[in-house]
Structure 1
Amino acid sequence: MKRSIISIMLIIILLLTLSACSKGESAEKPAEAAAETPTEAPAPEPTVEAAPMPDMAVSSEGIVDGAMGIKYGAKNEEFAGGKIPTLSLPLKVEYIPEGTVSLAVVMIDPDGGNWVHWLVANIPVDGTVVEIPENASLDWPEDIVQGRNDFGFLGYGGPTPPSGVHTYVTTVYALSDMLELESGFKLPAINQAMEGIILAEAQILGSYAR
């Protein structure tokens, strides 16, 4: 009788032990499953890129609707009697590219056989905008070097078309260095000096008639 009771008690203890183990395993499985679930990496935040700078541009208050103001050419009464006009155009150069050290200016008359009216080198640059004021050709310091125009003198020589309408092309060059030019240089010299260091260029056209 005692053996039967002991056997029954052992069976009960064994059943309770198995039940407890089963509960422990079932409790661990969800945790293991949760641990095994891969976590997704957070989506990268979109990067905002800066808008590219527009191309370099040149404008002038002295050119309206494509026509140069009278005072910048031969019809200026100040230069009557065959005098060559020397009042230079104002220019505004914008969106100058990074790395620009100096600007150069070349003004020619394609309708007059590429007659050279103005050559300028070593205009200093400090930023993305440079404003060249009216009459700068006469007011500039000596470190801004000017070439000899086809009239034969230094600086700006304004439009003096013999007849009809001529269109004058002013080109501004952004350069990565200063130019080793002396006052009185000619067009071929500045073209050669700028080779390999032009970062950008921009043009403005202005017509003038007698």
Structure 2
Amino acid sequence: MAEPEQVIPDNTASFVLTSTDIAEGESLGKKHELNVFGGNGDNLSPQLTWAGAPEGTKSFVLTCFDPDAPTGSGWWHWVAFNIPDDVSSLDTGVGTVTGMPAGTIQARNDFGEKKFGGACPPPGVVHRYEFRVHALNIEALDLDEGATPALVGFMTHVHTIATAKLTAVYTR
């Protein structure tokens, strides 16, 4: 008789990312478009809410990445880390206007700024914007605001216990 297969519960299935500003697969609004490089939007970060983080979560990392940018390596629009574990939402504009929760560090994005940088694909081209919240098993990444998105990503990957994702699109 064969041994019964051990079933390991998936504690990440209930970790979700939602928004009152954007929906999965739908278009970002003009308020989330960049206001330079030909864009004329409001450059506001979208409202985001996450729920169902697994037991053992001690902090969060938030990223927004455009895999369709014509760079060969995509484009980082937003990288924020050391978000406290008692934070579960961010209001519209918090990444650009009003400021992040205490203790949070915003790394330099690919625009060279330590904040959210809005969507600005070439005219007529649809790009995807992948918003991800990573639940980490440590209270803080041992990095400062000078960390590159790649370094934040590496350290995040090492400590992630769950990831919630919301992908929006945009074209001008």
| TM-score of the two chains, using structure 1 as the length reference | 0.66
Query: Which aligned runs of 4 or more in structure 1 are off by greater than 4 angstroms?
Result: 80-85
The code of the aligned residue for 1:146 comes to Q
Q: SS state of the match for residue 158, structure 2?
A: coil
- The answer to whether the 8 A contact 1:146-1:185 is kept is no
- The answer to whether the 8 A contact 1:67-1:207 is kept is yes
Distance 1:188 1:81, change over 3 A: closer
User: How many residues are matched?
Assistant: 153
Query: Which of 1 and 2 has greater Rg?
Result: 1
The code of the aligned residue for 2:112 comes to G
1:19-168 equivalence runs, <5 A: 54-64=13-23, 66-74=26-34, 79=35, 82=38, 86-112=43-69, 113=71, 114-126=74-86, 130-137=88-95, 138=97, 139-141=99-101, 143-163=103-123, 164-168=125-129
**What runs of 5+ residues in structure 2 fail to find an aligned partner?**
1-10
2-structure distance, mates of 1:161, 1:134? 21
Q: 1:190 matched to which residue of 2? A: 152
Q: SS state of the match for residue 183, structure 1?
A: coil
RMSD of aligned residue pairs (Cα, Å) = 2.2
**What runs of 5+ residues in structure 1 fail to find an aligned partner?**
1-51
Q: Percent identity of the aligned residues?
A: 31
| TM-score of the two chains, using structure 2 as the length reference | 0.79
- The answer to whether the 8 A contact 1:154-1:184 is kept is no
- The answer to whether the 8 A contact 1:68-1:208 is kept is yes
Cα offsets for 1:150-194 (capped at 9, x unmatched): 111111001011122111111110001111111132111112222
